[in-house]
Amino acid sequence: MLFDTHAHLDDVKFKGETDEVIVRANEQGVSLIVNVGYNLRHARQSIALAEKYDFIYASVGLHPHDAKDGDKSFWEEIYKLARHPKVVALGEMGLDYYWDNSPRDVQRDVFRQQIGAAKDLKLPIIIHDRDAHQDVLTIVKEEGALEVGGVFHAYSGSWEMTKEILDLGFFISIGGPVTFKNAKKILEVVEKVPLESLLIETDCPYLTPDPYRGKRNEPGYIKLVAEKIAQIKNISYEEVASATKENGMRLFGINPL
C-alpha cells in the first residue's frame, strides 16, 4: 500500500545491495517508488532502475547543488531523458541556501529554467527547499508552476508557509524527520495539512527515521513515517498509507498496477 515518492536507490551507499533493499521494501508493503535524478548521471541511473522494476518510476532534473553545471548540453539531454515513458516528474530542483554549493543567482536562474521545461514537457516538479523559503515561493509563483503542480519534498517549512503552498495546489511530502524526538514545527504541519495534500517519502539513503536515525535509510522504513503521521492525525495507519499512495499516483500520473 505504501508509495515512497522520493528515493535515491542509485546512491553509492546502496552499491551492491540495491536489489536486496528493494526486496525488503516490497516485504514492508512498498508497492511504488519514484527514484529521483538530480543531475544527468543520476537521471540516467534512475531511468535504468525504472526500466528494471515495473513499480519504480524516475524523475530527472538538476539539484541546486549542481546548478552551476546547467549548460546547453545539459538542457538538450534533460529534454530527451524527460520524454522516457517512465519519467513522471522533473526534479529535484529548487534552492539550497544552507550549503550554497552553486552561486545563489545561478540556482535561481536554473530553478526558473526547470519550471519552464516542466511546463513544456507537462510534468510536475519536485522541489528542494533549504533555508530559501521565500525565494522558492516567489519563483514558483512568478514562473506559473501551478500550471504543472508538484511537491515540496522533505518538507521543513512553517505552517504559515504551508498555507501558501496549499493555496497553490502543491503537495507537502513528509519524511523521516517527523519521527525525530526534537521535531516540533513539522508536527504542527502534519496535524493541520489535509490528508489529500500529503505525500510520504524516505529521501533514502538520507533522513533516516527513528529508531534507525544515524544509519542508512531505505524505502522499507517509509512505514515508520506513515505510522507517525497516523498517530499525529489520530487516524489509522491504513488510511494514511492508502491516501498518500493515491495522492502520489494522482500527482505523477501513475495508473493503478
How many domains does the chain divide into? 1
Q: Is 257 domain-assigned?
A: no
pLDDT tens-digit map of 134-193 = 999 999 999 999 999 999 999 999 999 999 999 999 999 999 999 999 899 999 999 999
Q: Is 231 domain-assigned?
A: yes
- Say whether pLDDT at 132 is over 70: yes
- Say whether pLDDT at 257 is over 80: no
Query: Which one, of 199, 170, 200, 191, lies nearest residue 235 by Cα?
Result: 191
Q: Is 142 domain-assigned?
A: yes
Q: Is 88 domain-assigned?
A: yes
Q: Cell numbers of 171, please? A: 503537495
* pLDDT averaged over every residue in the chain: 97
CATH code for the domain of 82 = 3.20.20.140
Q: How far is CA 118 from CA 35, 96, 125, 163, 235, in A?
A: 17, 20, 7, 24, 35
Q: Tell me the angle at which helices 72-82 and 40-52 cross, rounded to the nearest 10 degrees.
A: 10
| Pairwise CA distance, residues 60 & 55, whole Å | 17
Residue 121 belongs to what H/E stretch? helix 104-121
Residue 152 belongs to what H/E stretch? strand 150-152
From the CB of residue 231, how many other CB atoms can be counted at a distance below 10 Å? 14
pLDDT > 90: percent of the chain: 96
Q: What is the pTM of this model?
A: 0.97
Q: Is the peptide bond before 211 cis (omega within 30 degrees of 0)?
A: yes
pLDDT tens-digit map of 235-250 = 999 999 999 999 999 9
The answer to whether the beta carbons of residues 127 and 201 sit under 8 Å apart is no
The residue segments making up the domain with residue 41 are 2-252
